[in-house]
Chain A
C-alpha cells in the first residue's frame, strides 16, 4: 500500500526539472549518434568507390587496407570529414553565443563583419603579398585571413569602449564595418589580375578541400578550449536571456561577459574561416534548431548548438560531394543553398506553432 502511495505521489519541482534535464541529455545523445552516422556517410562518399565495409574495417585496422586506399582514407577523406565536423561545431558554438550576447536571433558568427574581414585578409594576401620561400601561400593566406578577422573584432571592441552602449550599438557597428570591409573586398577584386581574382572568388566560396591534419588539429584544439570557456559561462549566458538589467542585477557582469564572448567567438570563427573560407548559415541556423530541441538553458543549448552545427556541415559536406557526380561543389555554396530554405521553413514552422 505504502509503495503504491509513493509511486502515485506527484513529483517535486526538483524531480520534474531533473527529468526535463534527462530528456535534454537524451536529445544531445541522439544528436551525437546522428552526427556519428553522418560522419561515416561523409567518409564513405567520394569519387573513388570505397565501400562502407572497407572504411569501417580500415578505421579499426588500417593495415588491412591497400596502400592506395589507406592514403585515400587517412589523408583525403578523414581530414575532409573531420574539418567539416570541427568547423561546423565551431560555427554552431560561436553562433549560439553571438545570438545570446547580442540578444538578436539574426546574429551569427559573421554579424560583426568577421567573414568580410577574413575575406579581405585573404584577398590582400593573394593580391599584394608575393610568394615567399619561407612562407608558402597555403599558410600565408590563412594567416592574413585570421589576422584581419581578429583586427576587425579589435576595432569593434575599441568602438564599443569609446562609445559605450549595449547590444544594439554593437550590431550597428558590426553592420557598418561589414559594409566597409565588403567595399574593400570589391576594391581588391578590381585591383586583382584574372588569376588572383579567380583565387579570391574561390577562397570566398568556402571549401573543405584545403583540409589537412594540422589544420584540423588547430581548429579542434581551439574549439575544445572555447567550448570549455563557454560552458564555464553557461549560467551567466542563461541569465542574460532574462534581459541585460535583470542579469546585471543578478550579479552577472554583462559588459565583461559580452567582451569575453566576442573575443572567444572571434578567435573561434577566425581559426575556422581562415582554413575553409566563408561558410554561411551554419552559425545562424544551428542555434535555432538547438533552441527548438533543448530550450535556452545554456548548459544544454551550447552543446546542442555545437552538435547541430557539426551535423549541418557534415550533411552539407555529403551533399557537396553528391550533387554533381565527379565534382565537389564548394561547401559554402551548398550551406547557403540548403540553409536558406531550412531557415525559411524554421521561421514558417514557428509562426504556424504560434
Chain B
C-alpha cells in the first residue's frame, strides 16, 4: 500500500493555503509520517485535504487510485480522520460514538462490539465507555476520538494534532498506540504535530511544511537540522543524542531578527 502526493494545492476562501506539495517517494505501508511546521503552515488544511474534506488540485493516489474520486462511503472505509478535538457538549457515550462510526462504515454489530472492546481496553478507556462525552475532560475526549479512528482499522490514518490536549504520559501512549497499529496492519499514518521531539521519537518520516509549501522531507533526524529550524521556526536549536542515544531537540533561543517563512499571499 502507498500514498502518493503530486502537486497538491488547496485553496480556502480564494487563498492558497497549501501550494504544490509533491513527495519524492510515496508514503509507505506500515509507516508513520509526522507533518510539522509553524502555526499557519497549512498542516491541518493538508490533513483535511488528504481526508477528502476539502477540494484540492493535483493528485492524491492511494494504491494508484485517486482518493478524491472515491465515493464518500468507500473513502470513509479506507481513510479515517482524527480531528483536533471532539465538540464539548455532546450527550453521547464513547461506546455509542464508536458503535455509530463502525456501523456507518458497514461493520457488522458483533464485529463492531468486539473491536470497541479491544480498542478501549488497549487505550485504557474501559471505565469511561458509558460516561457521557460532555462529562469528560478535553484529553479524555481526544483519546475517545483516537479510539474511534483505531477501531475503524482504516488503511490511511490522518491525525490532526492528536496530542494537543494530553499530558506527557498520554502523548507517548498515543504515539505508541498509533505507531503499533500502522505497523501491525500495514496501514499508513500521517500525524500533524507541534512537538518535534515526539516526531523524532515515534515517526519514520517527517514532512516539514511552512507557508503552505513543503520545505523538507525525509527521516526525522536527517531532516530536522539547525539550519532548517532557524529558517522555518526562527529559533536557534540543535538535535543531539540524549543519554540513551536517541536524537533530541534542544532549543537554545528565539531569534528575534529572523524571518520564518512568510505565508503565501
Contacts and interface: CB of A to CB of B under 8 A. Distances in A.
B130 A250 contact: no
24 contacts: A13-B117, A14-B117, A16-B129, A17-B130, A20-B130, A235-B104, A238-B92, A238-B100, A239-B100, A241-B90, A242-B87, A242-B90, A242-B148, A243-B83, A245-B51, A246-B86, A249-B83, A251-B73, A251-B75, A253-B72, A291-B91, A295-B92, A295-B93, A297-B96
Contacts of A295: 91-93, 132
A13 B96 contact: no
B1 interface: no
Interface in B92-112: 92-93, 95-97, 99-101, 103-105
A253 B53 CA distance: 11
A238 B104 CA distance: 11
Nearest to B113: A14
A22 B244 CA distance: 54
A12 B79 CA distance: 29
Nearest to B87: A243
A16 B93 CA distance: 12
A243 B99 contact: no
A342 B122 CA distance: 44
B81 A249 contact: yes
Contacts of B86: 242-243, 246
B151 to A, nearest CB: 11
A276 interface: no
B77 interface: yes
Contact of B83 (A246, A251, A297): A246
A183 to B, nearest CB: 31
Nearest to A236: B104
Nearest to B99: A17
A12 B76 contact: no
B80 A249 contact: yes
Q: What size tier do the contact residues of chain B reach? A: 35 or more
A291 B132 CA distance: 12
Interface string A217-256: 0000000000000000001101101110110111111000
Nearest to A295: B91
A212 interface: no
A182 interface: no
A205 B97 CA distance: 41
Nearest to B73: A251
B83 A245 contact: yes
B130 A245 contact: no
A296 interface: yes
B72 A241 contact: no
B53 A252 contact: no
B77 A251 contact: yes
A296 B95 contact: no
Interface string B57-90: 0000000000000001101110111010011011
B196 interface: no
Given A13-B113, A249-B79, A295-B132, A235 B100 contact: yes
A252 B77 CA distance: 11
Nearest to A234: B100
Contact of B120 (A13, A249, A291, A296): A13
Contacts of A242: 86-87, 90, 92, 97, 145, 148
